[in-house]
Amino acid sequence: MNGRRYIWVALVAFAAALAAVLVARIWLAPEPRVESEVHALLHQRLTLDTAQEQRIHELEAAFASRRAALEAEMRADNQRLAAAIEAEHGYGPKVAESVDRSHHVMGQLQKETLQHIFAMRGVLRPDQAAQFDAAIVKALTQPAR
């Protein structure tokens, strides 16, 4: 009877830890506002010429592919984290390593997102770039909604 009780406690602890990770991923890490603001500015408020639109489209297509790859890597990290939690039933070395790896990929996505934003900025005229900069500063400094 005691063996079953420990297994039951371990399963409940694992489920709680997994639920906490999923909640954090979904609710505490919403879609980046900066990307939404930049996208709206580029496609709705700035008057881009045909060459600018084409170049922006190329940059967005290339970044969409890279972003999808990094997001797939983050999903794989979640699976590794779940396996580590299942194996260790606590915050052990495998869990810590999985969390660190996940943070590395998230950081890489943030860096590549910024590189993408600056690449798009490079396509703009000076007057457009000023509006672009203002939109990014606003998006980054607005209080959380």
Q: Which two tokens stand for residue 28?
A: 């505490």
Q: Which two tokens stand for residue 62?
A: 């290339």
Q: Are the beta carbons of 52 and 43 closer than 8 angstroms? A: no
When pLDDT is averaged across residues 3-26 and rounded to a whole number, the result is 62
pLDDT of residue 59: 92
Residue from 35, 64, 53, 59 nearest 132 by CA: 35
- Asked if pLDDT for residue 26 goes beyond 70, the answer is no
Q: Are the beta carbons of 63 and 116 closer than 8 angstroms? A: yes
Residue from 73, 69, 58 nearest 116 by CA: 58
Q: Are the beta carbons of 108 and 70 closer than 8 angstroms? A: yes
pTM of the entire predicted model: 0.68
115-142 pLDDT, tens digit each: 998 999 999 999 999 988 888 888 778 7
> What number of other Cβ atoms are within 10 A of residue 123's Cβ?
20
Query: Burial letters for 21-32: b for 16+ Cβ neighbours within 10 Å, e otherwise?
Result: beeeeeeeeeee
When pLDDT is averaged across residues 34-62 and rounded to a whole number, the result is 83
pLDDT of residue 122: 94
- Asked if pLDDT for residue 91 goes beyond 90, the answer is no
* Chain mean position to CA 82: 19
